[in-house]
Structure 1
Amino acid sequence: MSTPTIRPPVAISLARSRRTVIRLHPDDNVVVACYDLTAGDRLDSESLTTIDPIPSGHKVATRAISAGSSVIRYGQFIGLARTDIAPGAHVHTHNLDYVEVDHAAQFGVDARPTQFVEKPATFLGIRRADGRVATRNFIGLVSSVNCSATVVRAIADYFRRDLNPAALADFPNVDGVVPLTHGNGCAVDPNGLGLQVLQRTLRGYAQHVNFAGVIVIGLGCETNQVEDLVEVDLSGLDRPVASFNTQDVGGTRQAVARGIELVKSMLPQANDVYREEVPASELIVGLQCGGSDGYSGITANPALGAAVDRLVRNGGTAILSETPEIYGAEHLLARRASSPEVGQKLLDRMAWWLDYAECMGAELNNNPSAGNKKGGLTTVLEKSLGGVAKGGTTALMEVYEYAQAVTTRGFVFMDTPGFDPVSATGQVAGGANLIAFTTGRGSAYGCQPTPSLKLSTNNELWLRQSEDIDINCGEIVNGYATVDELGEQIFQRMLTCASGESSKSELFGYGQNEFVPWQLSAVM
């Protein structure tokens, strides 16, 4: 895997451009500030003057909104005015309330057949014996339970190039050894949903195309038995698979030694790979957004959506997720459903989440987070409407439960929590061999064994944190680039990253601590 030099960011003028605010839909009664505004600033495009200071990315009322009336952004409802709001006023948490919505479902009315390109794009991938294509080439260490995590990490540390350069010196085609540790695996109902989801997640990782070999390591007495993971589901893999329990080999020291020897035995075969030109249809891209701000639904998310449309037209697959963060926008996805059955699956998952939140004494408007609000987002409805833009415009072909294997090509949805590490873990378990992650606040994230590309929503983040960001979409705010232009740039970067060019998060070693399976069981 190549390691490009990190270059300083391109200088971007943050001076006020002629565009002071952005209107997203003719019906909107708010616009979004392109930079910090002061009270008394004239907004010529809206023929009004601000009466409050408006932070960058926040909303400005464009006409009088009476208490109890709808606030509209993207041409959609995002909440009710708590008080009378005057034209030019700041619209945010102090005067905008969330209320639950119940949109009438119209399945498939916006679904259109995909117009595939005549000559698909290609990238350099690793073709496995079973025909699947990898974007990276790791050996995976899977812990069955938290009690084997220390052993797993000790084995992986032995092969870290920064700690022991000699360990992989003779195996340049092996990207590394990945420890997949977690806090679950015991003290749960052996027949319950939580263990089923954990096992589905671990099996999905153990079967992931980016692993050239897999070792599953347990303690021995846990509920989540190693045999349940290996003998039933992994015996047919076209790569070496091994397993053992710490209790069976004599304890911690012997378990670490056993694991090191097993990895060494797998390295020659794992190294015997090469990259070849393959079609972009072999890409399965998980879509994520974290640390979103008021620009997310204007810049990086729709630009990623434009890249997704290109990917789908080239025969590839994109996975939208984070179910609690599409709440209030699920009706837009249902309109794109390829069939009523697919649309109903989506609504069924949303209904499950409403029940789940209620039984936990919570509500789906626990979003946005503190950082989201500081960046200009006020309600989960507003956040969701911007979030679904990552999914582009093509038909919704299928809906999957958490960590289920994704087998349908095109644009699909996977039911996951909104918490980014848990959500992306489900996508990778489902087969994602690339992640594209938008951020407005500067989320730190990586996802071994799958590379993750980071996209900034605003120029300030790019200038402040460019070493963590692969592509800046903030130029859309100033009018220096279009959504479509950034969509093409993102799509091309997907291809180069899938071909082996390191993402920024890979250069910093992100991706091991971010393996976080969804824990649903009651812990006994």
Structure 2
Amino acid sequence: MKFLGYVRPDGTTGIRNYTLIMANGRGAANLAVLLTKLVSGTKVFVQPNENGRDADDRATIARTIVGLAKNANVGAVLIVGNKKNGGYPEFTHEAIVGEIAKSGKPMDTLFMDSCGGFQQAVGLGMRKARLLAQQASECSRQEVNLGALHMAVKCGYSDATSGMSGNPVVGNLFDRIVDDGGTAMFAETTEVIGAEHIVAKRFPDPAERLKFLNAVARVEEEARSTGEDIRTINPIPANIQAGLTTLEEKSLGAIAKSGTKPIQGCIRYAEIPKGKGLYYMDSWMSSSALFLGFAAAGSVLNIFQVGGGWFPNDAMMPTANTGLITPTLYMTGSPRTWEKAHQEMDFSSGTVISEREPIAQAGERLLAEVLRFASGRLTKGETMNVDDNLEVYLRGPGL
């Protein structure tokens, strides 16, 4: 199985070809946003304010900036800032620019203190960004094997169909990608609770297994510290309205999206996996935060597997682009959701229920669609200028 992708200098393969403009420090965010509006083919990421954050959160923000820039969907990078070095140690020139430079892709920097201030930086930034966009456009698609693909999945608004048809079909896809030498990621620490013993058995490395189990225990303890049991918060109301009754029931359906292959590691939010294969990311369930973390970890195509709890009535919900540099493929295993929202969604595995289609056959159909999107076809979300407000998963308090 092959697709047409953009092969980068570091050997990774993208399915889109953006020039990414980012501020190293929230203080230069306005400059980055303005340049993106002025230069075609660019994307911008506005980070949360690093001031007053603890070291762990600052490291997460820095890891997200570097990871997004290294993502194979990015063909060139412009980093802007107030000054070359300043602020917290996580955001030094070497920690950010030096790490991104290791990817070998075209990149440049712009610092306002060395070019005369904001207004002068706009003009110089336009010239730099336009040149980078041109350089990125010189990269052409070439035929690559399925094993070059790096994907991730989140499920949401779960109901019974999520565990019966939606998530198992994604799991079948992931098994195929991993078997071909590719990389796949799943997450949502809240939604493995009650099924963590099943997932834990799939870690060949005892140290990685312990990291996973400790992450689950941490979430349960954080909930208890507020005086609540996590099971009174999750399942969420949409899950309950759709027929799920317990968090354990929800988790058993949710873990099906990971397939059956060994899990090579438990990685932090926005952490790039060290090798190929299947990985678990310790993260929250928010779609905007999770898809951003997946992109920073290298995913070039995200899947949002939606259950029957998405539509409480007959209203249509236009899909949003939740991926910044990584497009999102919306799919469902619910025949009812597909009937209501097929104009907004990219794929249905509800035929496993309505037509008794074998899961493997539905997985083969999904793989064919993935290869089309990987070769350049736009997802439904990408056809609309509606962007979800992306957020970084930060766990510490503002100090």
- TM-score, length-scaled by structure 2: 0.89
Instruction: For 1:41-440, list aligned pairs within 5 A.
Output: 121-159=1-39, 168=40, 176-189=41-54, 192-220=55-83, 223=88, 225=91, 227=93, 229-246=95-112, 249-365=115-231, 366-440=233-307
**2:291–2:322 CA contact under 8 A, matched in 1:** no
Amino acid at match of 2:148: E
Identity across the alignment (%):
27
Task: For residues 2-40 of structure 1, give each alpha carbon's deviation from its aligned partner in whole angstroms, at most 9, with x where no partner exists.
Answer: xxxxxxxxxxxxxxxxxxxxxxxxxxxxxxxxxxxxxxx
Amino acid at match of 2:191: E
- Mapped partners of 2:7, 2:241: distance in 1: 45
1:480: how far off? 4.5
SS in 2 for 1:411: strand
Amino acid at match of 1:278: V
Corresponding pairs, count: 386
Q: Tell whether 2:357 aligns with 1:481.
A: yes
SS in 2 for 1:299: helix
Residue equivalent to 1:9: none
Residue equivalent to 2:339: 463
Task: For residues 227-266 of structure 1, give each alpha carbon's deviation from its aligned partner in whole angstroms, at most 9, with x where no partner exists.
Answer: 2543431233312222334455444433333322211121
Residue equivalent to 1:164: none
SS in 1 for 2:132: helix
**1:226–1:243 CA contact under 8 A, matched in 2:** no
SS in 2 for 1:320: strand
- Mapped partners of 1:149, 1:462: distance in 2: 39
Are the structure 2 counterparts of residues 444 and 457 from structure 1 closer, same or farther at C-alpha, using a change threshold of 3 Å?
farther
SS in 2 for 1:257: helix
Task: For residues 139-174 of structure 1, give each alpha carbon's deviation from its aligned partner in whole angstroms, at most 9, with x where no partner exists.
Answer: 001133444333222211223xxxxxxxx4xxxxxx
1:515: how far off? 3.2
Task: For residues 313-361 of structure 1, give each alpha carbon's deviation from its aligned partner in whole angstroms, at most 9, with x where no partner exists.
Answer: 2221210111111111111111222233332221122122223333455
1:285: how far off? 0.8
Are the structure 2 counterparts of residues 269 and 122 from structure 1 closer, same or farther at C-alpha, using a change threshold of 3 Å?
same
- Mapped partners of 1:247, 1:503: distance in 2: 41
- Mean Cα displacement is larger for which, 354-363 or 212-221? 354-363
Are the structure 2 counterparts of residues 242 and 134 from structure 1 closer, same or farther at C-alpha, using a change threshold of 3 Å?
same
Residue equivalent to 1:173: none
**1:400–1:415 CA contact under 8 A, matched in 2:** yes
1:514: how far off? 4.4
**2:62–2:91 CA contact under 8 A, matched in 1:** no
- Mapped partners of 1:423, 1:330: distance in 2: 19
1:475: how far off? 2.2
SS in 2 for 1:468: coil
Amino acid at match of 1:211: V
Task: For residues 461-495 of structure 1, give each alpha carbon's deviation from its aligned partner in whole angstroms, at most 9, with x where no partner exists.
Answer: 22222232100122222234232221111111111
- Mapped partners of 1:460, 1:247: distance in 2: 57
Are the structure 2 counterparts of residues 230 and 339 from structure 1 closer, same or farther at C-alpha, using a change threshold of 3 Å?
closer
- Mean Cα displacement is larger for which, 226-235 or 478-487? 226-235
Which stretches in structure 1 are left out of the alignment for 5+ residues?
A: 1-120, 160-167, 169-175
Are the structure 2 counterparts of residues 473 and 144 from structure 1 closer, same or farther at C-alpha, using a change threshold of 3 Å?
same
**2:65–2:96 CA contact under 8 A, matched in 1:** no
Task: For residues 366-400 of structure 1, give each alpha carbon's deviation from its aligned partner in whole angstroms, at most 9, with x where no partner exists.
Answer: 22222222222232222111110101112222221
- Mapped partners of 2:28, 2:97: distance in 1: 19
**1:405–1:431 CA contact under 8 A, matched in 2:** yes
Residue equivalent to 2:329: 453
- Mean Cα displacement is larger for which, 123-132 or 353-362? 353-362
Amino acid at match of 1:369: I
1:132: how far off? 1.7
**2:194–2:248 CA contact under 8 A, matched in 1:** yes
Residue equivalent to 1:12: none
Which stretches in structure 2 are left out of the alignment for 5+ residues?
A: 311-316
Task: For residues 40-91 of structure 1, give each alpha carbon's deviation from its aligned partner in whole angstroms, at most 9, with x where no partner exists.
Answer: xxxxxxxxxxxxxxxxxxxxxxxxxxxxxxxxxxxxxxxxxxxxxxxxxxxx
Are the structure 2 counterparts of residues 196 and 306 from structure 1 closer, same or farther at C-alpha, using a change threshold of 3 Å?
same
1:312: how far off? 1.6
Residue equivalent to 2:313: none
